[in-house]
Chain A
């Protein structure tokens, strides 16, 4: 099967519920992405510190560090990395706050998988657009 010449995307999935995490990982990997997972914000920050992700999908309600604190932290350390919030907790204030803090999108669970994936691709395309032409490759 040909997976067109788009580079393989590295995605971090953050959710405390293993079932959700595994399902999303499987769906993304099936579409040719490379996926790592974390079960809370602290773990996710640690993974983000040693890996460069093309996009991050995170839940909000999680132990240790919730998704909004994680968003604030990651935007300070890697402002370019798109973060998509996927949550069952759909308060309007939370959504407004998350996007103000730099989230690329706010998606309610249960979500439409195709929509979520199209948002991931859009987010990555936006980052690439902003970046100057010419990759600098490894290590930064």
Chain B
């Protein structure tokens, strides 16, 4: 018997060209309770493996005909679950490394003892069992995630219509309402929002637990985030006659996911409001040196938490007062979601509390390292007037969403055109050249990502801003594919319109990258005269630095540059999600190869050959193109 008493007879295949060793193993292993099959060559061994399942294989390496490493590969193809032990009298590093890389369980030198072999067998069999279990669990976990992803879509789609139509009716878009009707609609809306919140919480928690919550980390301004949180929560605080105060110094930049951080703060403030009967909720932000961190305090003057309850606070589905008559409503998921999100963002959350005095939640998060050349970002000025009949093309397979979008855009000056699938959408885009496109992701036949790729690969359509309207959020992927922004369903009318308006501003900043000072000077003067802000860079490295300091609207790029060349600058832009959406014009005196030309065609709006034209002509071409860009967005 094997050393830990096998309840099952394991099948062993012994492959060796030495008859004495085969007999010894057959006898010895059978005696210990294994079922043994022997083969005198690699070919014979593989033939037997084709007809019978083995748990374990011991093979020699140096054999005439097929050698041991070839046998190993063959076995792993026929029965990948069999554990193979290589045994050789002529061990070499090459065969050892090759065997292990091909998935052998172990590699041992002859002569070896039967006991030694049986210990290896036990270990190999144990590993196989564990691997099988892991495989089964992984499969179950995958099924669970898939189920949740599907449920997420199925549950949220109808909510979209319920909330959307209720708020349109409340906005009197379908005519006047009787007071009773209004009251009823308000109840529908509030309760639908509560239900949506609950669905979101449960889905967030499952995603966080499964490690499938995508994050989009970027520099974000602490003051702006807190202000947005306050704007969201102010009416609730007012309702409860609570004061909501903030103390946030300007200029603190976090390196974090804006949306997720807001979710956490809204949750903490919501909680504070819920458990405070009178007094003040305050949000305070301070910076810590050491490793640079930001600390956010959310303090209340509420009922407080008992010491023994603090440990339970962040646990899932635990409400401190779980009695049926409990005073405070809620699912008990908020804090546990907040804790998981903060940890996902590389931070920590803790709480200090005294019963009857109040509680303070303290969130610590990584800070963006301060940049010495941090330029204040210019506010977009003007250009956001009333849009005059600009076409918004919406591509979505759900007719409900299309009609909801159409209604939402009524009276905004945008003209709505809907397409119910990707092909139709692209055809309409070519025909109408819309001002902006909204795009659903989950569509049959041609999904949103494919439509996006087609749009971004078409030189005529590349410049049109694309907004993803979806239940799913994969910002990093979207931005890397050239998405302008996201509108997450169910969407808010104000948010939709303000996002569409944001892309109305014409391009203002131009980064000119050229190592020829004459050309640079000429471009600088000419573009400056036309009202652009011009930034210059004499080589690729400088260009990359300039783009990091301030993202330009337009990039005029020479290809032949010292050190870091134009192609590398393009590659840098492509790899950097925050640099998406820059309009790129390439100027070059180089004769482009077909490969280079194809590469550029997919990435830039225009290629100007410098050598073949004189400079004023190049300049005219650029200006015409810039005017065209301006016109699209003006």
Residues of A within 8 A of B (CB): 1-3, 5, 7-8, 90, 92, 95-96, 99-100, 104-106, 108, 134-140
- In addition to A8-B575, A92-B92, A92-B107, 17 A-B residue pairs with Cβ atoms within 8 Å of each other are A2-B595, A5-B599, A8-B571, A92-B93, A96-B100, A99-B101, A104-B101, A106-B97, A135-B476, A135-B477, A135-B480, A136-B476, A137-B475, A137-B476, A139-B217, A139-B345, A139-B346
- Which of A2, A90, A99, A140 contacts B599, CB < 8 Å? A2
In the bound complex, residues from chain B placing their C-beta under 8 Å from that of A1 are: 565, 567
Q: Would you call B474 and A136 a contact (CB within 8 A)?
A: yes
In the bound complex, residues from chain B placing their C-beta under 8 Å from that of A105 are: 97, 101
Q: At the interface, yes or no: B275 with Cβ under 8 Å from chain A?
A: no
Which chain B residues numbered 546 to 577 have a C-beta less than 8 Å away from chain A?
Answer: 565, 567-568, 571, 574-575, 577
Q: At the interface, yes or no: B215 with Cβ under 8 Å from chain A?
A: yes
With A3-B571, A5-B599: A100-B106 Cβ-Cβ less than 8 Å: yes
Q: Would you call A137 and B577 a contact (CB within 8 A)?
A: yes
Q: Mark B378-398, 1 if CB is under 8 A from A, else 0.
A: 000000000000000000000
With A134-B474, A137-B577: A92-B480 Cβ-Cβ less than 8 Å: no
In the bound complex, residues from chain B placing their C-beta under 8 Å from that of A104 are: 101
Most chain B C-beta atoms within 10 Å of own C-beta, residue among A92, A100, A108, A135: A92
What's the dominant secondary structure at chain B's contact region? helix
- Which of B91, B106, B477 contacts A137, CB < 8 Å? B477
Tell me how far the C-beta of B305 lies from the nearest C-beta in chain A, rounded to whole angstroms. Answer: 31
Q: Would you call B106 and A96 a contact (CB within 8 A)?
A: yes
Nearest-CB residue, chain B, relative to A119 = B101
Q: Would you call B100 and A3 a contact (CB within 8 A)?
A: no
20 contacts between A and B (CB under 8 A): A1-B565, A1-B567, A2-B567, A2-B595, A3-B571, A5-B599, A8-B571, A92-B107, A95-B96, A95-B100, A96-B96, A96-B106, A135-B477, A137-B476, A137-B477, A137-B480, A138-B215, A138-B217, A139-B346, A140-B215
Q: A79 to B100, alpha carbons, bound, how many Å?
A: 18
Q: Would you call B216 and A137 a contact (CB within 8 A)?
A: yes
Q: At the interface, yes or no: B459 with Cβ under 8 Å from chain A?
A: no
Which chain B residues numbered 570 to 615 have a C-beta less than 8 Å away from chain A?
Answer: 571, 574-575, 577, 595-596, 599
In the bound complex, residues from chain A placing their C-beta under 8 Å from that of B574 are: 5
With A5-B599, A137-B477, A138-B217: A90-B93 Cβ-Cβ less than 8 Å: yes
In the bound complex, residues from chain B placing their C-beta under 8 Å from that of A136 are: 214-215, 474, 476-477
In the bound complex, residues from chain B placing their C-beta under 8 Å from that of A100 are: 100, 106
Tell me how far the C-beta of B92 lies from the nearest C-beta in chain A, rounded to whole angstroms. Answer: 7
Nearest-CB residue, chain A, relative to B142 = A132
Q: A7 to B577, alpha carbons, bound, how many Å?
A: 13
Q: A5 to B416, alpha carbons, bound, how many Å?
A: 37
In the bound complex, residues from chain B placing their C-beta under 8 Å from that of A99 are: 97, 100-101
Q: A134 to B214, alpha carbons, bound, how many Å?
A: 11
Tell me how far the C-beta of B298 lies from the nearest C-beta in chain A, rounded to whole angstroms. Answer: 23
In the bound complex, residues from chain A placing their C-beta under 8 Å from that of B106 are: 96, 100
Nearest-CB residue, chain A, relative to B478 = A137
Q: At the interface, yes or no: B83 with Cβ under 8 Å from chain A?
A: no
Q: A135 to B474, alpha carbons, bound, how many Å?
A: 9
Q: Mark B396-438, 1 if CB is under 8 A from A, else 0.
A: 0000000000000000000000000000000000000000000
Q: Would you call A95 and B575 a contact (CB within 8 A)?
A: no
Q: A3 to B215, alpha carbons, bound, how many Å?
A: 29
Tell me how far the C-beta of A83 lies from the nearest C-beta in chain B, rounded to whole angstroms. Answer: 13
In the bound complex, residues from chain A placing their C-beta under 8 Å from that of B214 are: 136-137
Which chain B residues numbered 308 to 367 have a C-beta less than 8 Å away from chain A?
Answer: 344-346
Q: A140 to B211, alpha carbons, bound, how many Å?
A: 8
Tell me how far the C-beta of A77 lies from the nearest C-beta in chain B, rounded to whole angstroms. Answer: 15
In the bound complex, residues from chain A placing their C-beta under 8 Å from that of B504 are: none
In the bound complex, residues from chain A placing their C-beta under 8 Å from that of B575 are: 7-8
Tell me how far the C-beta of A52 lies from the nearest C-beta in chain B, rounded to whole angstroms. Answer: 12
Q: A106 to B107, alpha carbons, bound, how many Å?
A: 15
Q: At the interface, yes or no: B16 with Cβ under 8 Å from chain A?
A: no
